[in-house]
Structure 1
Amino acid sequence: MNSDQDWFVSVPYRPRYSAEESSDFAYEKDQSHRRCMGRKRRAATTLLVLAFLFVAGIVARVYLFFVGMRIGGRLAEGGAMSTKTNETHSLWGWRNGAKPEKKFDLAQSDSNGFFNAIPNDEWKRMKHETMMAIDLQYGVIHRTSDLLSESGANIDSKVWWADNWKINFACHDKVHVGGYWICDPMRIVSLANEYRKNSKPKRRGKKDQTACVVYVSGVNEIEFGEQFFDYLRSRSVQVDGLLACEIHIFAPNAEVRLCLTAKNLQAVHQARDGLFMHNWGFRPKNRRSTGRAFKTLENTIAELKHSGRISVLALDCEACEWDIYKDVLSLEEPIQQVLMQLHGTPYNANELFLAMQETGYVIFNREIRGDGDVWDYSWLKLAPSFFNWKY
């Protein structure tokens, strides 16, 4: 075999016109170029596919948006508007062209289950507004503390009330009943009815208890108690023949209690199962009882077996509120709403509001009475998580 034949056998066949173009170096360079071009083609193909999918996705979402609008406004058979709202029309969870379903878990956890219909975004906004109001109040305290009297007498009371302790929480469903503002009383009824339905007495003969108890004590206790009772009765669903809430009126003043004759008082008890009258009032622990009948709030709750069941406390004790608030906050089971009438501007006025706030109460209403020296306040108890501003 000659040399030309030997070269043909030892070197793989390559379609080149000369020996230099068919060398190993030229072959490797050619293969590298081919591999590079192949990678470019694959990358270009991948980009084209991704671009196609992106455009197709946008077109699909626009199409489903207009389809959802048509379905949402389409009349059902018989001329009635279709009420279906849970049909999913896309992979993104759209329902009839509307936005994805909102969540309400933040409000429910931050309010111990009291609010269950406030969307998370709105609840965050409400928390932020409360945070701003509380921060602002801290600065006002230092600027106006000299307006409080060390002796208990008033020193420019109107100026102090004008700047201090304004509403710091928005309760959108507050109702005015018998001279007091209550936050969403229908929710109180709803929670009480749910509790009654889900907690039947396990033993026969055991007395069924209501989950909602309202305490009323003060000058207008009878008026408020009766009006609130009528309000609840007209809107409450009875369970086993009983209303969801009990109203307990505490009237230590004989003149007030005798405004109802014995006949009328008996008629109240017979016609209104759930409205109770008591012939004593509340006094702070740090004060001895006067000649009239007074008991501490703690003793009253223990005697009537109402621990953990008080939803509302409406209190007007003619300036004893500056001491008795400590008894309210020291209860083992907190009261959901506290409605209290405040008189004057004693030296410890800020202490009351700060203690209420530190215990988890927010102010959802305040209202002036008379010439500006008496104010009605309404507080709502929220969970500690509400006051965590880092959300």
Structure 2
Amino acid sequence: MSTPDDYSYAPYRSRYSAEESSNAVYEKDQRHRLWLGRRRRVKRLLLSVAFIVVVGVVTRVYEFFGGIRVGSHSLIGRWEIKTKPEQGYYKANTDSFGFFDRISDHDWDKMKQETITLIGMQDATTRTTSDLLSEGGANINSKLWWDDNWKVSSINFTCTNKFRIGGYWLCDPMRIMAFAAERAERSKPTERRKKRKGKTADQKECIVYVSGGRDVEFANHLLDYLIARKFEQHIDQEEDDLLGCEVHIFAPSMQELVEPRDGLFLHKWGFRPSNKESMGIAADSITAVAFKTIKDTVAELQHSGRISVLALDCESCEWDIYSDILALDEPIQQVLMQMHGTPFVANELFLAMQQAGYVIFHREPSSDGEIYDYSWLKLAPSFFDGST
């Protein structure tokens, strides 16, 4: 039998001396190792809890200030903010980036299938009518092309609440304003963020651009309509700001507005395609008029992600400028354009708009059949995937 001082029979321990290998030191060492192990486990548990808490807080802050985003940021950007849809209204809400909030899933499935069918019909028509367009750019048999192409099946989406204002057709103008108000509420900047980003409290989330044609008429009628509807909504409440949207007119030859008013802004330049440097002459044949690209305009006025409507009547510039509209960092919700003639790129414009996720909800010809008004609405890629 071994004695306490006899280490010849003691179990092997990785120590350097007999004293370090004693039972008392070994037990003390084991207790210390056990304590260290427990401390490591407690630290891991606390770090895991802290990580979960931080992720939860960051997620809450992101949802509160940025809104819940669905899809690719590059496709829709800032107006991709959605409210949580009610039961049975999810599909329309998702496929429209939150714009439609009162269309049932059943009705939306029917609308979606009709649109996809009509797009297929139009694609087939396009392939058989391209010979009516001139390769040289001249208008060849314009009326015949419009009669056969982008007509019967071109209105490929049914906006159940479209409204004519100042000569243009818009899809649910009240929802345009309400949707912008939702975005504004969810993205209210703090005072520090306002200073950093140059954003002021009175800047609207609903911006309307109009250039050419019936610009002043449309601007005034739209403001009148939105103010009247907002007043009706808040008739029993005190409402300091009845301006749901800002309307910006781009008119290089217009010196001043005849009747200035709140919410209406005049900019003394027109839009030009990015691939064309241009400087024109006004009707008096003396005054030079300036032009800027849409991208430069949006950047200069700090309107990125806040343009709800673009109404454009620029006497054939639409055939060149449409690619600039589609190239914006943040898309425009509704595009209203007057189309003139039938240049050889006519199909390219319509197909590019379709490829970018725009559906046509209105088409209206002039009396001579040579000029057509079209209204497009931006939808999400999920709308075109064919699933219901």
Distance of 1:105 and 1:230 partners within structure 2 = 32
Q: Which one of the candidate residues 99, 122, 134 is aligned to 2:119?
A: 134
Return the offset for 1:151: 2.1
Deviations along 1:211-253, whole A, 9 cap, x unmatched? 1000000121111111111111111268653622110011112
Partner of 1:74: none
Mean CA deviation greater in 195-204 or 335-344 = 195-204
What does residue 324 of structure 2 align with? 327
8 Å contact kept, 1:196–1:244: no
Checking the alignment, whether the CA contact within 8 Å between 2:227 and 2:242 is kept in structure 1 is no
Per-residue deviation at 1:195? Answer: 2.8
CA distance in 2, matches of 1:142, 1:330: 26
Write out aligned runs for 1:1-391 (5 A). Answer: 103-165=88-150, 166-203=154-191, 207-208=200-201, 209-236=203-230, 241=241, 243-254=243-254, 257=255, 260=257, 264-265=258-259, 268=260, 272-291=261-280, 292-391=289-388
Unaligned segments of structure 2, at least 5 residues: 1-85, 281-288
Alignment-mate amino acid for residue 278 of structure 2: S
- Kept in 2, the 8 Å contact 1:102–1:120? The answer is no
CA distance in 2, matches of 1:135, 1:118: 24
> C-alpha distance in 1, partners of 2:326/2:185?
30
Structure 1 letter corresponding to 2:183: Y
Q: Distance in 1 between matches of 2:105 and 2:169?
A: 25
1:65-94 Cα offsets, whole Å, 9 max, x none, are xxxxxxxxxxxxxxxxxxxxxxxxxxxxxx
TM-score normalised by structure 1 residue count? 0.68
> How many pairs were matched up?
280
Higher radius of gyration, 1 or 2: 1
Q: Which amino acid aligns with 2:212?
A: G
Other structure's SS at 2:164 match: strand
Report the residue type matching 1:363 in the other structure.
Answer: I
Which structure has more RCO (C-alpha within 8 Å, separation ≥ 6)? 2
Write out per-residue CA displacement over residues 49-75 of structure 1, whole angstroms, 9 at most, x where no aligned residue. Answer: xxxxxxxxxxxxxxxxxxxxxxxxxxx
Aligned to 1:53: none
Contact 1:216–1:249 (CA under 8 A) maintained in structure 2: yes
Give the drift of 1:157.
1.4
- Structure 1 equivalent of residue 73 of structure 2: none
Q: CA deviation at 1:201?
A: 3.6
Q: Matched residue of 1:139: which SS?
A: helix
In 2, the alpha carbon distance for the partners of 1:102 and 1:191 equals 19
How far does the alpha carbon of each residue in 1:306-330 deviate from its partner, in whole angstroms, 9 at most, with x for none? Answer: 0000000000111010010000000
- Matched residue SS, 2:191: coil
> In structure 1, what is the Cα distance between the partners aligned to 2:125 and 2:241?
51
SS in 2 for 1:107: helix
RMSD, matched Cα: 1.8
